[in-house]
Structure 1
Amino acid sequence: MSRYLYSIIRCLPDPRTGEFVNYGAIAGDPVTGDWEIRQLSKTDRIRKFAPVAVLEIAGSFMLQLGADIDAHRALMEEGGEPLGEEWLQRLHHDHRNVVQLSPPTPILADNAREALERVFQHVIIDPVTQPRLGVTKDVLTRRLRDVYHRADIDESLIHHRPHVFVGAHVNYTMDFAIANGRAVQLTQAWSFRRSSLDGVSMQVKAWGYAIDRLRQGDEARVIDSNNQRVSTIDRNVDLQVVIAPPETSAQEHVFEEAQEIFASLAAQVHSLDDVEAVGARAEMLLRRL
């Protein structure tokens, strides 16, 4: 057996949510140039999940990928170099929108077709993945809203997606602020259980920069997105974070980086298992007003 590499080819109707369906896979030997692609044969559930326009993009990508492999086979017959590992790495890096490729992963096989057979038997999950099981940011924020309501907090004090301004130039849209002239709690949700976390990493850093300026004492205010009501924010405002924790090593790496930011800002971090504590904390702080 030889060392092959494979990547799962995924289709994301809305890359912002992280929800995806597996569309196919690519596997090959970067030394010999033995590459093959394969598309899922059963697409009924994919069609229910993804619009036709999105599936057309994924289908066109697969066709172009196949054409590239065929072209390089012809070049190799004339003495050209095979498609190497850097080619697959580049595909993974460059495609971060509707079509995405999982990080190249080694697998032992006798040929590319056998490698794909192993991938389809043991790796590909069909087809709606973890975000449908309750790990998207939307699910986290809906759960938070429910928690605030169960805590018997007046609806007028729950500000969803308010704008937080810090100093003269820094602003960030928070998920929730509990405020009535003065903010008593700011809450942000992050899902680290996504196929691509590059956007999450940048968002955490941008959020962290804004909150750090707040913690340093810059004048800050929160403006409700609906009625433009303004509330001041104290530098020691209660800061809560609710997460969907990572499951893979790649997700863990991004989460560890985020944890350092959370700790530096004195944010309390909760999973869905103890998200009720966020509402209880907000209710207690409001009673002190």
Structure 2
Amino acid sequence: MSRYIYAIVRCLPEPRTGEFMNVGAIAGDPATGDWSVRQLSKFDRVRKFAGTSAMQVATNFLLQVNAEIDHNRSNLEEGGAPLAETWLHMMHHDHRSIVQLSPPAPILAESAEQALDLIFGRLIIDPVSERQPRPVNKHLLTSRLREAYRSAKIADHLIRPRAEVFVGEHVHSLVDFAIANGTAVQLTQAWSFRRAQIDTLSTEVKAWGYALERLRRGENARVVDVNDQISKISKNVDLQVVVAPPVTAEQMDAFEEAQQVFSNLGAGVHSLEDVGAVVSRAVDLVKQLKD
């Protein structure tokens, strides 16, 4: 489990009286960018308590928070930074009228959705609320993978994030991690098939797969990390893929296409829950590397 933070969203039709109703919650992991927001399943209860005007203020606030989270997910796909813990603290500080937030507090959970399940089950009590599948961003996958490498005591200097693989004279592609020190012994790539925008994912996987296929054919290849350190790569290098599996029909179509690419490359494919298998393989392989 990881440390998440949360705040309960309250509606106060008359802030002077202090009488409020819990209408939703926000939870997230600032390290990975796994944020989510949830509101009461039936806002009629809010309208009856607070009136239409106050209910609309609360609804608009939750929609705005959801839009910010969605925008940040898109930024994470482009290498941006996740929403920080200060984001939630600022909303708690700035909203002192009809909408207020409880002081942000920590909670242990496997995901933002699980944190919200706990909050709604114990603090808000919304028995008809149904958990909805949420997008999972690539940043979450790579963060958890980096944590797993470090937990396995693989030295930081052997973990080369966002390394570039060059094959032949003109083909190159980024990989999320290379385990290397003069020689690359493992390449690892994370793919989320549960992200909000799925339309370009198949193209991205195929472009990545094309470079790795040329490597597998035995063309001369090398890894260049962010510090411009170069490591050679064998065509038989260990190749691992960590995925967030699909939940919608559109996401499933993209995943089925990608599976063919992964199979052709001889890549091991793992869910986030099985990331330990990737790291265990790396632990064995680093024994081949020089210190």
TM-score range, shorter chain: 0.5 to 0.7
- Deviation at residue 173 of structure 1 after TM alignment: 1.0
Task: Quote the residue 1:243 is aligned against.
Answer: 243
Which one-letter code corresponds to 1:170 in the other structure? V
Please list every run of 5 or more consecutive structure 1 residues that lacks an aligned counterpart in the other structure: 1-16, 23-39, 55-121
Question: Which SS does the other structure have where 1:152 is aligned?
Answer: coil
In 2, Cα distance between equivalents of 1:21 and 1:196: 19
In 1, Cα distance between equivalents of 2:253 and 2:36: 21
Q: Deviations over 1:167-222 (max 9, x none)?
A: 10011111000000000000000010123312211110000000000001111101
Contact 1:18 1:194 in 2 (8 A): no
Q: Deviations over 1:132-160 (max 9, x none)?
A: xxx21110000000010011111001011
Question: Which SS does the other structure have where 2:189 is aligned?
Answer: strand
Matching of residues 175-186 of structure 1 within 5 Å: 175-186=176-187
Question: Which SS does the other structure have where 2:150 is aligned?
Answer: helix
Matching of residues 199-210 of structure 1 within 5 Å: 199-210=200-211
Q: Deviations over 1:218-261 (max 9, x none)?
A: 11101111x21000010000000000001111111110010000
Q: Deviations over 1:24-49 (max 9, x none)?
A: xxxxxxxxxxxxxxxx9622123234
In 2, Cα distance between equivalents of 1:187 and 1:166: 17
Task: Quote the residue 1:45 is aligned against.
Answer: 62
In 1, Cα distance between equivalents of 2:277 and 2:234: 21
Q: 1:165 to 1:20 in 2, by over 3 A?
A: farther
Q: 1:200 to 1:18 in 2, by over 3 A?
A: farther
Task: Quote the residue 1:171 is aligned against.
Answer: 172
Structure 1, 152-161 or 194-203: larger mean CA deviation? 194-203
Task: Quote the residue 1:283 is aligned against.
Answer: 283
Which one-letter code corresponds to 2:62 in the other structure? R
Matching of residues 116-127 of structure 1 within 5 Å: none
* Number of aligned residues: 180
Question: Which SS does the other structure have where 2:195 is aligned?
Answer: coil
Matched, 1:130 2:147: no
Which one-letter code corresponds to 2:248 in the other structure? T
Q: Deviations over 1:57-106 (max 9, x none)?
A: xxxxxxxxxxxxxxxxxxxxxxxxxxxxxxxxxxxxxxxxxxxxxxxxxx
Which one-letter code corresponds to 2:181 in the other structure? N
Please list every run of 5 or more consecutive structure 2 residues that lacks an aligned counterpart in the other structure: 1-32, 39-54, 72-127
In 2, Cα distance between equivalents of 1:49 and 1:230: 42
Task: Quote the residue 1:92 is aligned against.
Answer: none
Matching of residues 47-126 of structure 1 within 5 Å: 47-50=64-67
TM-score using structure 2 length: 0.57
Question: Which SS does the other structure have where 1:263 is aligned?
Answer: helix
- Deviation at residue 288 of structure 1 after TM alignment: 3.1
Q: 1:150 to 1:173 in 2, by over 3 A?
A: same
Matching of residues 242-261 of structure 1 within 5 Å: 242-261=242-261
Q: 1:21 to 1:204 in 2, by over 3 A?
A: farther
TM-score using structure 1 length: 0.57
In 1, Cα distance between equivalents of 2:237 and 2:158: 15
In 1, Cα distance between equivalents of 2:249 and 2:212: 28
Question: Which SS does the other structure have where 1:173 is aligned?
Answer: strand
Question: Which SS does the other structure have where 1:275 is aligned?
Answer: helix
Contact 1:208 1:265 in 2 (8 A): yes
Which one-letter code corresponds to 1:46 in the other structure? L
Question: Which SS does the other structure have where 2:166 is aligned?
Answer: strand
- Deviation at residue 21 of structure 1 after TM alignment: 9.1
In 2, Cα distance between equivalents of 1:231 and 1:252: 36
Q: 1:220 to 1:18 in 2, by over 3 A?
A: farther
In 1, Cα distance between equivalents of 2:229 and 2:277: 27
Task: Quote the residue 1:212 is aligned against.
Answer: 213
Which one-letter code corresponds to 2:216 in the other structure? R
In 2, Cα distance between equivalents of 1:157 and 1:183: 9
Q: Which runs of 4+ in 1 moved over 3 A?
A: 17-22
Contact 1:186 1:240 in 2 (8 A): yes
Percent identity reads 52
